[in-house]
């Protein structure tokens, strides 16, 4: 006794279309499963450390950021923890070659509503210790 799988007598092009459709659905399912398992699909990015200041706007955000940074890293504290914190948050910090004992840090972020937030912070130092922090926050208009 011979068992055989018999397909209905469809035309070859219709059978090929169904096979292609089945292949694409299967491939889409595999991509969706892999994407959701790795977090690429469906998981929004976590808010950045400085988004709270950006959401306040340019003027209020600058004032709040200056107040908080100067409270958390007052004059006389070590420079390295401040630079490490800013770098972990996405800032690019470099020693200013035109001004002795100064660092310039910049941060750019594309917001969800297609605005661009930019923070420029100037850190005055005596070489090893913070003397003052002056941030400037600019949020591009929509």
Average pLDDT over residues 16-43: 75
Is the predicted pLDDT of residue 133 greater than 90, yes or no? yes
Q: How far apart are CA 69 and CA 122, in angstroms?
A: 12
Overall pTM > 0.85:
no
- pLDDT tens digit string along 61-101? 999 999 999 999 999 999 999 999 999 988 999 988 777 78
CA 40 to chain centre: 13
Same domain for 21 and 87? no
Is residue 1 situated within a structural domain?
Answer: no
Q: How many domains does the chain fold into?
A: 2
**32 and 58 in one domain?**
no
pLDDT at 115: 81
**Residue 38 sits in the same domain as residue 95:** no
pLDDT of 42 over the 60 cut: no
């Amino acid at each position: 006794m011979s068992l055989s799988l018999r397909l209905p007598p469809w035309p070859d092009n219709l059978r090929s279309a169904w096979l292609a459709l089945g292949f694409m659905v299967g491939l889409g399912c595999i991509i969706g499963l892999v994407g959701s398992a790795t977090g690429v699909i469906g998981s929004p990015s976590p808010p950045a450390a400085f988004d709270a200041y950006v959401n306040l706007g340019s003027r209020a955000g600058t004032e709040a950021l200056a107040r908080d940074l100067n409270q958390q890293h007052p004059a006389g504290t070590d420079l390295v923890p401040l630079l490490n914190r800013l770098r972990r948050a996405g800032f690019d910090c470099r020693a200013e070659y035109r001004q002795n004992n100064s660092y310039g840090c910049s941060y750019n972020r594309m917001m969800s509503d297609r605005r661009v937030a930019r923070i420029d912070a100037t850190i005055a130092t005596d070489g090893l210790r913070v003397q003052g922090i002056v941030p400037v926050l600019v949020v591009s208009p929509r």
